[in-house]
Chain A
Amino acid sequence: MAVINKRFGATDGHIKMPDGSEHYIFGWVDLTGIPESEIFSYRGKAQLLGPLLEVKVGDEVYLTLTNLGMPVRPDLDDSHTVHWHGFPNQIALYDGVPEASISVPVGRDFVYYYKPLDPGTYMYHCHFEPVEHIQMGMIGPLLVRPADYDPNNPLYKTAYGHGTGTEFDREYFVFLTELDSAAHHQVASVQEYDWTDFSPDYWLINGRSYPDTVKSAGDLPEQPFPALIKANSGEKVLLRYINLGYQQHSIEILGIPVRIVGQDAARPLGLNGEDLAYWKDCNYFAAGQTLDAIFTAPAPGTYPVFNRDCYKNTNAGVTPGGMVSEVQVFAAGTLPPQAGPGQ
């Protein structure tokens, strides 16, 4: 059990799509450990997705939210919050819903305190005018390790704890969102947008659209999370699916069925502990839901990952693009052990 201190800044920035288009975003930037005198140099440097929050059951997490303001929209003095989506038994003060507690104005800090109770895959996002702030990019992945997690012991390197049948060798996020470029353009241009007209033209995995999804982390510094899934043949791969878009999505991995071992950060267990884990080929799930799936990497080769709603495999109407990525399987022993989630 550890005390974890994190500091996230809320600001704006820009991201790129593979067709060369650039889009204005709101988002998070990691200020953990940055001297106070330097934090303002992070204004305008929001990334999509926000930094990975990786904590453990029993940790005490102090997360400072610093509202850095929006350099591109200095007129926009919106407050922000952090909502840890799906966290059980939260109190209203730390739940990040401005209508039910507080928000953080420009130039101010607020410390959220979280005590993770249950392992699983969650997400975090700003809950201030969420229809705008989530679509604009104030989102990020959140995973909670089980209390007995030990990356050096295969029996304890699990999603849900020793003995839960959730051992894995590698883990990846499949974090789904959409991008409605008209909305982003309107916000950048200080114009009203009717959110009921929401109509995305890009579909993203981990903040990237294909073929950027399979590029390396450093290729897109503002979008630091590749969506390429790599494993050695025979290894167990944990996929953490998160839908923080506004649509329902159906993700197929051709040739690799997966076993669903968690949904919404809960193991599929009946009231008396019945194990209800099951196999799926195409994972259909909705905004605000998460899935944990495990597969054993098959024979070496490349296996496509794509959205079965095939119109979402496009960039502004042009194919290929959108929610497409790959599972690349190598001969046993080829890849060194994974350094961290998604790497």
Chain B
Amino acid sequence: MTVNIELWATDGYMSTPDGNSIYIWGFTDTAGKKAQLPGPRIVVTQGDVVSITVHNLLPEATSLLFPGQSGVLADNGTGPHLAEPQFDGTGNLVSLTDFADYPGNPGANPTSIRYIFTAGNPGTYLYESGTNPHKQVPMGLYGAIIVRPADYDPAVPSRKTAYGENTGTEFDREYLIVVSEIDPVLHSAVEKGTDYNIREFKPRYWTMNGRCAPDTMFADGMGCLSNQPYGAMIMAEPGEKILIRYAGAGIENHPLHLHGNHTRVVAEDGRLLKNGTTDLSYKRFTILTGSGQTYDQIFSWSGLGYSQANPIPTTLPNLRNLGVGDAGWTLWSGSPYLGEKGDIPVGVTSFNEMGEYYFMLHSHEEMQITNWGEFPGGLMTMLAIFPAGSLGNVGTIE
């Protein structure tokens, strides 16, 4: 089938947990709305013809690249043709692909452009600006594409997979985490129209799905984060297979470390790690997610079966002898046991709902888990293990 998507490239603001409001460029899929960070998720099925029209409302030309897609066509009014690098009259490269001009440019080129490609491979991909990308991509002109395998059927467990039946990629829930960085000096310079030298790029914030911790742990669509609609909390039940998709949309490479268990990397850059019948997938506890790369992984946590009937082999000290909630809040239940709640010191706010366990997922370049130097923040979220049967259909991407 053909999937038609319209995106507007425009501006807006993102919020950081320390109270900053940072000017961004980005995409929205609703005319008249502000840019969101990252751009809208695009979910299609292998074999779909994907048609994406970009309407440019920015003060300079913009475009879209689709890394990992083959045979991308562009149509800026003269009919579809192979999307190709664009040069000015003197042979200077002005864009890595066909672009949409900016409104009011004397050249009066079209300010909208359509890209067409067939989603040939299942997997996780990025889309991102190919025009002044050193500025436009860090400013926020990026987003993620999920391509479902052709035989995908969420109602049939053997076909609820990342890469198709019999590829060892079955999952119960899935999460997408797109990572990037923010240098506020770049964003301020673009907002004010002043000079900025990208060689001096120095991030002070790091983002997961456009949010800095602890905002990463809020749900999707929080009203207070109107331009950052995607949460980054991973929620699972014991023994479930969780598909975690990482995408590196920034300039830097980030070693993402997940507590609780290893993940098995089943695909890189939207390609299954398989050579004929030889399975090339591998286990890691830290994934170096490089700029422009994607990693699809399967995670599962089963624990060691502790409960009141099978108690932990140590005695929990009195609460007065423990540090709880030093960050001003805690995710701890007060109990060692899954599904049980215990006492939390008076004055500490616990966000624990029903005795679920929390495991941190974060960059191990630890300055990246701060907001401008203040821990906790940045490239950090939690993976929560909830008691069996309590989660419903969370962890569904549509």
Contact = CB atoms under 8 A, between A and B. Distances in A.
Interface of A: 60, 62, 79, 83, 85-86, 88-93, 95, 97-105, 108-113, 115, 127-132, 134-135, 192-198, 246-248, 263-266, 268-272, 274, 276, 285-289
Given A128-B326, A196-B202, A196-B372, 6 more contacts: A62-B313, A99-B360, A115-B304, A246-B366, A248-B288, A287-B364
Interface string B166-205: 0010000000000000000000000000000000001110
Contacts, number: 187
A131 B262 contact: no
A268 B168 CA distance: 17
B161 to A, nearest CB: 13
Contacts of A131: 366-367, 369-370, 375
A129 B375 contact: yes
Contacts of A268: 282
Interface string B280-306: 111111101000000000000111101
B331 interface: yes
A108 B321 contact: yes
A15 B302 CA distance: 42
A178 to B, nearest CB: 11
Nearest to A288: B364
A337 to B, nearest CB: 32
Contact of B253 (A62, A194, A195, A248): A248
A246 to B, nearest CB: 4
A90 B260 contact: yes
Nearest to B365: A246
A248 B255 contact: yes
Nearest to A244: B364
Contact of B336 (A88, A91, A99, A134): A91
Given A89-B304, A99-B327, A196 B204 contact: yes
A265 to B, nearest CB: 7
B280 A270 contact: yes
A95 B336 CA distance: 11
B127 interface: no
B151 interface: no
A264 to B, nearest CB: 4
Contacts of B253: 248, 286
Contact of B259 (A95, A192, A198): A95
13 contacts: A98-B326, A100-B332, A128-B323, A131-B367, A131-B369, A132-B375, A195-B375, A196-B203, A196-B373, A270-B280, A276-B282, A288-B364, A289-B255
A63 to B, nearest CB: 10
A14 B58 CA distance: 54
- By CB atoms of chain A within 10 A, which of B316, B323, B330 has the most? B323
B285 A265 contact: yes
B264 interface: yes
Contact of B331 (A99, A103, A197): A99
Nearest to B277: A272
B103 interface: no
A105 B255 contact: no
Contacts of A85: 257, 285
B360 A102 contact: no
B246 interface: no
B136 to A, nearest CB: 23
B162 to A, nearest CB: 13
A285 B288 contact: yes
Contacts of B255: 248, 286-289
A194 B373 contact: yes
A64 to B, nearest CB: 10
B358 A270 contact: no
Given A104-B323, A196-B370, A270-B282, A286 B364 contact: yes
A264 B283 contact: yes
B223 interface: no
Interface string B199-217: 0001110000000000000
A130 B366 contact: yes
Given A196-B372, A264-B286, A274 B312 contact: no
Contacts of B358: 92, 97, 99-100
- By CB atoms of chain B within 10 A, which of A97, A109, A131, A132 has the most? A131
B370 A195 contact: yes
Given A93-B312, A99-B330, A286-B288, A271 B360 contact: no
